[in-house]
Structure 1
Amino acid sequence: MEQVRRTSLADQAARLLFERIRAGEWHLGAKLPGETTLGPQLGVGRSTVREAIRQLAGRGVLETRQGAGVFVTALDVNEDWDRVLRQADIAAVIEGRIAIETEAASLAAQRRTATDIRAMRRALAQRVTAGQSAEKYVDADMALHRTVVAAAHNKVLLELFDGFVPRVRQAMIDMLGLQPAGTPCDSDAAGNDQQAHAELVQAVIDRQSATAAQLSRTHLTSLKAALV
């Protein structure tokens, strides 16, 4: 059985313990052996085993239950969300937005309030007056999309959308910078693009749930094609 080497004993012990969990040595909900058993197996002392368990508990893999022992609560570790988004290609990010915003548009049409309507209309108007700056245009565009997601009154969807914004924002700015002509912010495409957003907002206002979802999907699918 592999044992840890000299440096960072707790980190190495946690890694080896996690590898054994992922290999299926203990199933979800299983109780781990005691420190006196795990210590010799890993080649470390009891204090190092305790620290390794604390590390894995902090990552959601293990749970220490007073008087009962240590139990497996997850078979994998979720990667840091920001890191996942940084490493993902833009197509995957847009596909995530499609999943979030299509559902959000549908819910927004069912749940929007008078306050939401005012926010969407204001953001729609500000999108027109954003000017020729790619940064300002993209920020105004994202702000409008956020008002639609906010109108769904689902905190989880809004949190997920906010997580996508930095990754998508830079990609859109880069795209507009590479296309000085024919882009939504400075060409005839502006009218069509603005109209598509106006139709989405109107569908939400009119409580047309299916239409709002479809308009959101269509727009984001075309955005994916442009960015990719």
Structure 2
Amino acid sequence: MIKRISLAEEVAERLKEQIRSGVYPLDTKLPTEPALMKTFGVGRSSIREAIRILSNLGYLRVQQGVGTFVAEKEGNETLGQAFERASLADLLEVRQLLEIRIAEKAALNRTDKDLHKMSLLLDDRKAKAESGELIACIEADILFHQAIADACGNPMLTELYSASSKHVSLAFKQIYQHTQVFLDTQEAHVKLFTAIKQRDALRAHEFLNEIIEAV
């Protein structure tokens, strides 16, 4: 049976994405209920339920008589805690399983807008690697793969990658001392992008494996 999400859950998901992407930074006060009702085209009860959901997950805090504020960018969801406790080996294994499936689905579901975003991020990854900016290069690499996850068409896979990516980023910062591995894998990333552009899921799988084995 297919579970249909409620309007409140849909609003909560969209608000969570806006919080994570920085539309509403930490400690920012959310717009009023009427403004949110107009923005999302739903009733007051759906807005209040969405806020309750995000408050329970740790993203928002409600101050009676004052307003609703962003409490945490990543919330305090159990999944995030699980990633924090995971060993590096376990984290990289989960990453491999996630990214292979994500790359395959992105090849089938990507849009021209998705491709444009990937292309810009791929160029940025290369520029940061060539200039030796390790931290910026790692972040550019993560953002490129996040763009692929965003294009895969499965919100759960996108969510899982987003939850794991910050921990992968931390691991990379501990493992690597320079950007050489990112330079070495740039061509494989270009091939991965090309496979996704050509809607070739099999080749996307192949090049993603090549990337993961290299890093």
Q: TM-score, normalised by structure 2?
A: 0.60
CA distance in 2, matches of 1:118, 1:143: 13
User: Residue 132 of structure 2: SS of its match in structure 1?
Assistant: coil
Q: Is the 8 A contact 1:97 1:161 kept in 2?
A: yes
Q: Is the 8 A contact 2:118 2:147 kept in 1?
A: yes
Count of residue pairs the alignment pairs up: 138
CA shift, 1:122, in A, is 0.7
User: Residue 176 of structure 2: SS of its match in structure 1?
Assistant: helix
CA shift, 1:220, in A, is 1.5
CA distance in 2, matches of 1:137, 1:173: 10
Q: Which residue of 2 aligns with 1:135?
A: 135
Larger Rg: 1
Unaligned runs of 5+ in 1: 1-57, 59-78, 224-228
Q: Which residue of 1 aligns with 2:87?
A: 89
Q: Which residue of 2 aligns with 1:69?
A: none
CA shift, 1:218, in A, is 2.6
TM-superposition CA deviations, 1:193-217 (whole Å, max 9, x none)? 1101000000000111111012112
TM-superposition CA deviations, 1:51-73 (whole Å, max 9, x none)? xxxxxxx9xxxxxxxxxxxxxxx
Q: Which residue of 1 aligns with 2:172?
A: 172
| Matching of residues 34-113 of structure 1 within 5 Å | 80-113=78-111
Q: Which residue of 2 aligns with 1:10?
A: none
Match of 1:184 among 181, 184, 189: 181
Match of 1:203 among 191, 195, 201: 195
CA distance in 2, matches of 1:94, 1:221: 10
Identity across matched positions, percent: 23
Please tell me the root mean square deviation across aligned C-alpha atoms, in Å: 1.9
| Matching of residues 138-149 of structure 1 within 5 Å | 138-149=138-149
Q: Which residue of 2 aligns with 1:123?
A: 121
CA distance in 2, matches of 1:201, 1:94: 21
User: Residue 170 of structure 2: SS of its match in structure 1?
Assistant: helix
Q: Is the 8 A contact 1:98 1:221 kept in 2?
A: no
CA distance in 1, matches of 2:163, 2:169: 11
User: Residue 107 of structure 1: SS of its match in structure 2?
Assistant: helix
CA distance in 2, matches of 1:212, 1:84: 28
CA distance in 2, matches of 1:218, 1:90: 19
TM-superposition CA deviations, 1:62-105 (whole Å, max 9, x none)? xxxxxxxxxxxxxxxxx922221112111111111111111111
Runs of 4+ in 1 over 4 A off after TM superposition: none
2:214 aligned with 1:222? yes
CA shift, 1:134, in A, is 1.5
Which residue identity lines up with residue 153 of structure 2 in the other structure?
A: H
Comparing 198-207 and 150-159, the one that deviates more: 150-159
2:155 aligned with 1:158? no
User: Residue 181 of structure 2: SS of its match in structure 1?
Assistant: coil
Q: Is the 8 A contact 2:100 2:205 kept in 1?
A: yes
Unaligned runs of 5+ in 2: 1-55, 57-76
CA distance in 1, matches of 2:124, 2:172: 18
Which residue identity lines up with residue 181 of structure 2 in the other structure?
A: P
User: Residue 159 of structure 2: SS of its match in structure 1?
Assistant: helix
Which residue identity lines up with residue 138 of structure 1 in the other structure?
A: I
Q: TM-score, normalised by structure 1?
A: 0.57
Q: Which residue of 1 aligns with 2:186?
A: 194
